[in-house]
Amino acid sequence: MTADRGNETAYDALPRIEKLGMPHAWEALDRDLGTLTRMTPETVREAAGLVREGETFGLNLPLTEIAPPLFGRDPVAQEVFATDRNTLDDRLDSFYPQGSTQWDGLRHVRAREFGFFGGVTDAGFAADDERLGIGRWTDAGIVGRGLLLDVVAHREQEGRAWDPFGAEPIEAEELREIVAAQEVEPRPGDVLLIRTGWIAAYRALDQAGREAQAGTPSISGLAGSDDVARFLWDSGAIAVAADNPTLEVAPGDPAVGSLHRRLIPLLGFVVGELLDLDRLASRCAADSRWDFLFTAMPLNLPGGVGSPANAMAIR
């Protein structure tokens, strides 16, 4: 893959934090936008040109579908009530913005003592401190050429076993193989969508299986490796998202490292998880067209750590 990045620094030329052995893009991107800095009027116009049939695909799970919730979160509670004889309202309690289909904001992960993206090292954030908050993404939203890389279909075509719950890492070389097999080419301004089949597998579980996943998740996903980070950065993507809960493999290998650490606090990546990609994937496979217009609008939550994705694909 050889994306044209214009004047942007290639992954291997980025400055490095030697103690971590990882590069950072703190000087290459806007501190509060991260990789959304790469979204331009030109990339948006090109993406809009991909709308041909006018078909729309919502990519969001119901807020209540992952039950029990993962990672120790509480289930969302909805109360519907009357405010007068003719009007209903509702209220959500125990609402975790990252509890379902979601974006990780730049406040979500820090790189140890080196801080959050841009080197922000404050021990905490005051209530009125909007630095790195996900609300900063809402001036323009997330709009670009969506590119679906279908791991499930690729494994089936190759006759290779695949278990979305198998804690198997997807290496950069396999992503390159999928790019070649689908005859596509990532380019600057893309939103890369990785289909692992996790949601379909989750929906097939009984309650005991869902409780087991909530207690000790076992998730196949992107490897936490330097080469995966290189692939994603050098693609020029404005965001990367998957249909699993973690984007990366879980549990990960400490010897390889954390992809979240590489991507969010160091490279400023917009990361999405639990996008519902199955219906979109079936449609893409039907005509072998894997790109489309992708749009999303996070919550305008000042200082927010994460947000529901509110994501859509349009073909």
- Give the pTM: 0.94
Averaged pLDDT score across all residues of the chain: 95
> Which CATH number fits the domain 11-314, given the four candidates 3.40.950.10, 3.50.30.50, 2.60.120.10, 3.20.20.120?
3.50.30.50
Q: Say what the pLDDT of residue 124 is.
A: 75
Q: Say what the pLDDT of residue 25 is.
A: 98
> What residues contact 82, with CB distance under 8 A and at least 6 apart?
88, 89
Confidence of residue 122 (pLDDT cuts 50, 70, 90): confident
Work out the average pLDDT over 135-153.
Answer: 97
Pairing outcome for strands 16-17 and 22-23: antiparallel
The three-state (H, E, C) secondary structure of the chain, written as one string: CCCCCCCCCCHHHCCEECCCCEECCCCCCCCCCHHHHHCCHHHHHHHHCCCCCCCEEECCCCCCCCCCCCCCCCCCEEEEEEEECCEEEEEEECCCCCCCCEEECCCCCCCHHHCEHHHECCCCCCCCCCCCCHHHHCCCCEEEEEEEEEHHHHHHHHCCCCCCCCCCEECHHHHHHHHHHCCCCCCCCEEEEEECCHHHHHHCCCHHHHHHHHHCCCECEECCCHHHHHHHHHHCCCEEEECCCCCECECCCCCCCCHHHHHHHHCCCEEEECCCCHHHHHHHHHHCCCEEEEEECCCCCCCCCEEECCEEEEC
pLDDT for 164-222, tens place per residue?
A: 999 999 999 999 999 999 999 999 999 999 999 999 999 999 999 999 999 999 999 99
Work out the average pLDDT over 106-130.
Answer: 91
Cβ-contact 240, 267 below 8 angstroms: no
Instruction: Give the integer Cα–Cα distance in Å for 228 and 273.
Output: 17
Which conformational region is residue 162 in: left (phi greater than 0), alpha (psi within -120 to 50 degrees), or beta? Answer: beta
> What residues contact 212, with CB distance under 8 A and at least 6 apart?
none
Q: With a cut of 80, say whether residue 299 has pLDDT above it.
A: yes
Give which of 71, 16, 102, 50 is closest to 213, Cα–Cα.
Answer: 71
Cβ-contact 36, 142 below 8 angstroms: yes
Q: Say what the pLDDT of residue 127 is.
A: 75
CA 220 distance to own-chain centroid = 15
Instruction: Give the integer Cα–Cα distance in Å for 308 and 185.
Output: 28
> What residues contact 151, with CB distance under 8 A and at least 6 apart?
162, 170, 174, 178, 194, 195, 196, 197
For the chain, give every domain's residue range: 11-314
Rg (CA), the chain: 19
> What residues contact 257, with CB distance under 8 A and at least 6 apart?
22, 224, 225, 226
Confidence of residue 7 (pLDDT cuts 50, 70, 90): low
Q: Say what the pLDDT of residue 2 is.
A: 35
Pairing outcome for strands 270-273 and 239-242: parallel
Q: Say what the pLDDT of residue 5 is.
A: 47
Confidence of residue 271 (pLDDT cuts 50, 70, 90): very high
Q: In this prediction, what percent of the chain has a pLDDT beyond 90? A: 95
Q: Say what the pLDDT of residue 1 is.
A: 36
> What residues contact 299, with CB distance under 8 A and at least 6 apart?
97, 134, 135, 138, 307, 308, 310
Instruction: Give the integer Cα–Cα distance in Å for 105 and 119.
Output: 15
